[in-house]
Chain A
């Protein structure tokens, strides 16, 4: 069965600094998608970044980038120039070729950006 693990329940970073959130996953599939979602206190689930497994190049979206290591089944999120608005819970998620279309989520990492 596919699993997603986020081993850091809580993290903090000073404003303007860089922080990396870790995620590992387990699958026997070769083609799949990986995602990072942000959940601020408003509860809204916001897609931060998406990586397609067949693409070697790491995805980037402005201050957000990933380090995708397919062989190691690792998918970390780097947030550069952290801002107070980045304070949120972050979820790593996996989507494979299952016949349910489901997203498999990690446990989440609460990130606090300190002024």
Chain B
């Protein structure tokens, strides 16, 4: 079966702009989580969605937001982009909130210039 699909793979944006990233989980998976990965901070949890509701949120400013649709697909949005938002954004899906493993997509590489 198809894995987790993230689009786009690469993105270049200018400071102050906003961006929307998309994640399609594995078919049947209902939980989607987002992570930010940078060389300095490593992998950091952004938020988790389950059944179209945000269940948990990491320690990120309100410029970072997300949503989940009825088909479990998820989007995350970053407004007023800053240079420090340049990172690899990873989406992970799992069957439900107590699954034994999470499946990650290949990520979206965001560069803010």
Q: Do A and B come from one complex?
A: no
Residues of A within 8 A of B (CB): none
Q: Which residues of B contact A (CB under 8 A)?
A: none
